[in-house]
Structure 1
Amino acid sequence: MTTRKRGEEGMIGKQLGGRYEILGRVGGGGMAIVYKGLDILLHRHVAVKVLRQQYVHDEEFIQRFRREAQAAASLSHPNVVSIYDVGQEEDIHYIVMEYIEGTTLNELIKEKAPLQVEEAVHIAGQICDALDHAHHNQIIHRDIKPHNILIGKNGRVKVTDFGIARAVTSSTITQTGSVVGSVHYFSPEHAKGTPTGEQSDLYSLGIVMYQMLTGRLPFLGESPISVALKHLQEDVEEPRKVNPLIPQSVENIILRAMRKSTSERYRSAKEMLSDLDSCLLPHRRNEPKVNFLDDDELDEEKTRVMPALRPGQYAVVEDDDDPQPRAKEPAPPEKKKKGWVKPLVWFVVLMSLVGGMWYAVQYVQQTLAVQRVDIPNVVDKPLAEAEKILRDSKLQVEVERQNDEAKPKDIVIRQSQSNMQVNAGATIKLTVSDGPESKKMPDVTKLKLADAKTKLISLGFKSENIKIDQQFLDAEPETVTSQKPTPNEEYTIPGDVKVELIVSKGRETFKMPNLIGKTENEAKMILNANELKLSKDGIVRQPSYKQSKGRVTKQFPFEPDDDVTRGTEITLTVSSGLPPEAGQMTVPVQIKPVKEGQAGTAKVILSDAKAENAEYQKLSNVTKTETLEVQLIVAPDKDATIQIRGEGVQNDTITKTYKDFLDQKNGKTQANDSGASSNAGTGTSGGGKTEPPATPASGTGGASGKPAQQDSGGTTTPPAPTGQNGGAATAPAGNTTGTGGTNP
């Protein structure tokens, strides 16, 4: 015994098939143990039936266990327990089936028997409906008993345990030298070991009805064999003798279902179900008692036991035609006239006494008798209406409340007595619904959306009632940030609750604005408008050739058009002006027409440490030589280049180096500093560099035809023209060098 218990307890917490977790034991029979389990995949409770360990090596029991799964799995009916799965793990054979919250009919009979007639007929009707479906699918249950009938909290009846079910075509129900089944619910043919059919299940159902309405079994004995013999030989005690409240129509159903001869029983479950549906109609409740005639009683020539004849027991009747009177027999004395008067007087006196006594008895009964009243059925009625009906029937009411998932609040679930007579003033106990039990809303905030939905659906909330509202928030994407109803708020029916979840999409992103070239104040205003922040020490000041003092030269860590979220911290680098080493120079540039007096146009394009290919100035109607002073900046690593381009003017390029700046700063003079140019060429002295004019039509490394570009400071600059070899020609300091050329 200890080993068996350890084995059963060892199942708790075990997972079968990788998805069914065993939670606890709920019952068991001779062949298997039933556990409550959790389907981890679908998040629902299931019943797991496990073959007992002592039978795992018995092939006959294993086959019977598998036959149960096959028989029940072939059925799909609301009154038959559904089979979800069947499997084997090592030496554990198991069936996964529907889990029913409720009790068994056996426990209900022990608690309440005898049951109310309406309740018993309702339960029997559902069992009969399930048997009709099974028989239609060629399945005979063969073990109908209260232990195998489950009753859910909603009143739904479920037939289970098809462990010894057989197909209709099976030839026998016997094992080797034994009969399988429950002896108190055997049919006679079952007990004899002869083939069983649909009517055997109906016989067992008749016994179940008998037990529900009388509170006891029809046949009892000291041993299973003696009980089985009674099924074969003895007549059942009529149910109405045990419980007079049973209507005659219901007793007729029980007696017909329990006939020992199959020819006198119902031919099908459908026929019995039809009788159950109508047996409580008013015109049927007091129908005549069903009469079954034995063939022996109809046989006039059968052997009978008769009393013996004794002398003098019977008088001799003389023939009326005998003319001979008896001799010497004195004649009777002559009766006096009016001999009837005296008897008549005594008769009248006697009847007067009887009438007086009857009247006195009636008077006493009326004076002392307690009035009897019928109990009306008020189930499913509102409490106020039920109380009025019962009080109008001269009955007292006692109310007991309980939560109920199916019945609305203040509706009568059941009553202690109904459809019978009791003394006026008797108390009827009503069980009234308080509605579904209130529960507290779970907290799913801070969970991922998928986990939150899984948790809610497992608690009974409907997926279609869960509304998702995704918003840009600071929380991690796909995280639930708030919910309605709020956590711990009470609800009753989860399927009716509408849930709203606010889910984060993460921070909203947008394109980083371009702050390069903006003044410090302009940059700060743009940051504020976009809900961006300056980081600590967010302004860094550095010298710059490209931007003038007070303008932004860099933005960190996000460049223009990078994706950025609100609240991000930005660091700005702001120009503090030119570096100390910057060389600021003024260079006079002569612009000459090709022919004096003939008008031309010219553009002065400057590339220096600050600008690149920037249009410095544009001149039109140049008819004579003009001098233009160009302001430029050179750096130790950046020379300056002045390009003159146009039509009708001499094209030229002048280059200034950082050395030129130092020479100018130190007061050294430069030869031909004006940079005079002609069609023959141009020249500079004192270290200046000269470049040939651009030849956009034929230069191999040139940039002719390239459109103007926008520099970082917002200035439109044309492409830098180049020489024949794609670069500027330079000459050693102190030499005068010239390259000539004209525009095509």
Structure 2
Amino acid sequence: MIGRQLGGRYEILGRVGGGGMAIVYKGLDILLHRHVAVKILRQQYVHDEEFIQRFRREAQAAASLSHPNVVSIYDVGQEEDVHYIVMEYIEGTTLNELIKEKAPLQVEEAVHIASQICDALDHAHHHQIIHRDIKPHNILIGRNGRVKVTDFGIARAVTSSTITQTGSVVGSVHYFSPEHAKGTPTGEQSDLYSLGIVMYQMLTGRLPFLGESPISVALKHLQEDVEEPRKVNPLIPQSVENIILRAMRKSTSERYRSAKDMMNDLESCLLPHRRGEPKASFLDEDELDEERTLVIPALRPGQYEAVRDEEEADEEEELTVKEKKKKSWGKPFAWFIILTAMLGIMWYSVGYVKEMIAVPSEVDVPDVVNMTLDQAKQELASRQLEALVEYLESSDVPKDVVIRQNPSGMKVRPGYKVTLYVSEGPAKQKMPEVVKLKLSDAKERLTKWGIKPENISVDPQFMDEEPDTVVTQTPGPGEEFTDPSAVMVKLIVSKGPETFKMPNLIGKTENEARNMVMVNNLKLSNENVSYEASYKQTKGRVIEQFPYQPGDEVSPGAEIKLIVSSGFPEEAGPMSVPVTIKPTSEGKPSTVKIILNDAQYDNFEYQTLNNVVKTETLDVKLVVSPQKNAVIQVKVDNIIAEVISVTYQDYLAQKNGAIPGTGAVKDAPASAPGSMGTDNDGNGAAGGSSSTGGRQS
């Protein structure tokens, strides 16, 4: 599949991942020259026509989503028996890999990620698309921290006959909802249950339900209560635990009604006044079941039968006599109660009429303008008056101060309602959006809104965006503020991709060079390593690196090419030449240096011998070529004492077993110090005269 073109425009570059139903490749959109992700249906499903139709229909439905937290789908197509979906390519990692690397995550980071997932789900649910497979593997996190939800709608394309074969249920059994486990229809709240499990895993580093088989895990979703997250990680605020527990309620009636509700809760859960909120309580489903099994005492025969005896009969006779006596004075008592009630009503009516006819006393309305609202209410209450408050915008009067009142300077009856017009401060403004603008343009826009330049702070960071571009802003776009001169704005600006000095790989072995490339986050593919014969480097060592030379500025991810030595060329002539060394004066120590110029080295300090007191012979190993001879300089106490030239003809003669004159030139600088001879390469050789007899090599 790698190297193939789909639809005449998508070139497959390499495999990046795979799942039970499809394989994902990195591709190149040749028309727009951008990288894309190409998801290709596995071969075992290409002949299932019903599956293909659902796959295509759901993929097209997912393509209708357009949201910054949803992986965009660019194209859907078929070429022969290849069914593919072209999607946005995200440079970054998955949430699953992030959890494995860093779990438990910081609370702020986990809430930020969950909020973005909620935003994506809210958008999808409004388009009647249920994800059904929310799990860390389907959450991508770009290098800029942007969360992207992928695989929308694909789970709906799995039929009952293929769901086991694809393994999607087995792979997702730790995250699906109780209604999913029971096989009943799943809706928006099923996605929120899965998101609750993802939050649980982010903040505790483990899954809430584990089992020996997928069936056992599914049963735990239905039957067992989840262990509270704060028992696993006490650093989780109570407000965040409440969100997780509500999202993971087994009854859909106790979960969040929508992703929007859950997102609103996430946005405020880390505010100071919410961190210590009480633990959320939920009704026990068993207590709500009126048909639940109860234990009640059994009825025994005769337990409630009335037992009459002679004493009870006597008591009944006595009660009958008493009732007759009561009836004798009951009627006069009832007439007494009725007359008393009528007199009371008449007394109350007379008092009420007098009160209505009497003219009530009036009170002065106090002047409460420029008082705070609390002071004004107290002042009115002291005069038995009530306050009716209306708020007005005002840039001159401080917030919660009375601007004017109605009425004023007159007398009114007690209990009268005085209208107070109270300042709610200056009109609120919304923060303009400056993201993706150049820094200079962003500052200009902010200052036009009255924000002081000194209140704008800039935080430059290395990012993939174009240098000097605003990436994020705080406060965010649309956030309200009242006083532009007091608001503090923070802008995170891209410095471009991070660069560093290119390391020197020349002379390193191939393995050493590969390790240095990997450590520096550079790229080196096998196709970018070639091999050439070389005199300068031994076999297996780097001859050349490009396009970045040592010390050049390079960004992470840059591709490097290397040329590695395959050894000396076939015509190379390795030789061993005996060189006589001796001190300046016999018996007195001297320092002798051997300087070598040959096909392999230039002015190479071959060997340094200290404390040389007598004449010795040293074998010097060198390499000659048809284009370059070798020159050996012998320095005694930093003075050139001897220069020996070795030609390629000397190598051929030695190779053929002949013992001719080597053609080596041995100079004796003592005869003419400071003069210069010339070797067969035209290189200057210190010394006076030269002899052609030479020494055998």
User: Does TM, scored on the shorter chain, surpass 0.5?
Assistant: no
Normalising by the smaller structure, the TM-score range is: 0.3 to 0.5
- Max Rg structure: 1
TM-score (norm 2): 0.42
TM-score (norm 1): 0.40
Q: Which has the higher helix share?
A: 2
